[in-house]
Amino acid sequence: MKTTRLGDPAPPKASPAARGQSRSQKGIKSIAVMTGGGDCPGLNAVIRAVTKTAINKFGLEVWGIEDGFLGLIEDRMHMLSYNEVSNILTVGGTILGSSNTANPSAYKIKVGKKVKTSDVSAQCIKALKNRNIDALICIGGDGTMTSAARFAKNGLTVMGVPKTIDNDLYGTDITFGFNTAVTTATEAIDKVHTTASSHHRVMIVEVMGRYAGWIALHSGVASGADIILIPEIPYQRDKICESVLSRSRRGKRFSIVVVAEGAKEKGGEIVISKKLKYSPDPVRLGGIANVLVEQINECAGLDCRAVILGHIQRGGTPTPFDRVLATNFGHMALELLMKGVKGHLVVLRGGELSSIPLSQVAGKIKTIPKNHHLIKAALAVGTSFGV
Ligand code: F6P
């Protein structure tokens, strides 16, 4: 069923040549776009780039699926007008809404007191076919791409766009949203320096990132943190204490520790803040900063405070870098689709935009290699990794 919005001026028409090329060559006349997983600065910039490119350059019809895969499962989508995607480049979040609790191949529903899990992928494909939608653009992280890969395997024309503040998506050097999160985290860490130095304290700032330390490593280096703790390098508490005490002996009576939410002590456990019943990825990390307060206080005898940045890292307007990256990704997704590429993820590798099969990405994450150049640089300027 097609819908139009009253009051919207007609969108600019694509040139007949562009139209003819897209329609006759690849048969794509209508696409849908969705944003899956946690929100992230730059999502709207991708929606804008995808929709404007589709309308302007290829004369396509564009549908916006509401609330990620949940909206696809529940058949909630509307046609996107040119006006709806205007003025959203700088706006954080997603105008389409998102969800990180719905996995079409293992959808959990409450039946009485029980939770039933069923595969509703065929129902999703039918919802798209009923509206004559030829291709689906999935903007998301590893969970979304794993589902997108399954849809591609089932014959749907799919193109992925890499999103996440965590920068942990396999196959691309960088995801949009990461630069904004690092900028926000760095500004916050810069601010706690004053309290740390005035009160001679150890300030421990916990950043997000799940099982990868990209946000911690980059914001830690950018803010000149004394200690950076990441999941890839399990820490030893005596080494952290040695480091803060040696600073005290040198007259630096404060220290800044940046810790990734997924960091853990050598031989210890990752700190879980909660487990979500209906989520395909139920574990939520968080709270390691509070553990470190006790550990450092005990072994170094210094006054310690924890600051957990949390979702502030996902908020706000995207940085210019992320706006540019998101626009490039969104445009590239359309160009590739119209050239007949399908079942791929748009990636940035070595500064070049390209794409790789979603099957290579599904079920994997990208962590920091222990010999990463930024770890070497941080060590060279005296940063400790707690080992
Ligand atoms: O993947 C993005 C992210 O913000 C992670 O860094 C964090 O662990 C998780 O999402 C938090 O998820 P939620 O918004 O469900 O609490």
The CA distance from 382 to 230, in Å, is 16
Among 67, 166, 168, 322, the active-site one is 166
Atom of ligand 1 lying closest to residue 208 CA: 6
Distance (Å) from CA 38 to ligand 1 centroid = 6
Partnered with residue 30 across adjacent β-strands are 61
Task: Please check whether residue 65 is in contact with residue 34, taking contact to mean a CB–CB distance below 8 angstroms.
Answer: yes
* Three-state DSSP class for residue 344: strand
- Residue owning tokens 């924890």: 306
Residue 208 in contact with ligand 1 by CB distance below 6 A? yes
Q: Whose CA is nearest to atom 13 of ligand 1?
A: 38
Helix axes 320-338, 16-26, angle to 10 degrees: 60
Give pLDDT tens digits along the chain (387 positions). Answer: 444 344 444 544 544 444 434 443 469 999 999 999 999 999 999 999 999 999 999 999 999 999 999 999 999 999 999 999 999 999 999 999 999 889 999 998 888 888 889 999 999 999 999 999 999 999 999 999 999 999 999 999 999 999 999 999 999 999 999 999 999 999 999 999 999 999 999 999 999 999 999 999 999 999 999 999 999 999 999 999 999 999 999 999 999 999 999 999 999 999 999 998 888 889 999 999 999 999 999 999 999 999 999 999 999 999 999 999 999 999 999 999 999 999 999 999 999 999 999 999 999 999 999 999 999 999 999 999 999
* CB-based contacts of 123, cutoff 8 Å, min separation 6: 73
For the entire predicted model, the pTM comes to 0.93
Q: Is the CB of 284 under 6 A from ligand 1?
A: yes
pLDDT in tens, 83-135: 999 999 999 999 999 998 899 999 988 888 888 899 999 999 999 999 999 99
Rounded Cα distance, 126 and 75, in Å: 9
Output the CA–CA distances (angstroms, integers) from residue 71 to 94, 126, 134, 162, 280, in the order listed: 14, 13, 17, 20, 16
Q: Which two tokens stand for residue 312?
A: 């502030």
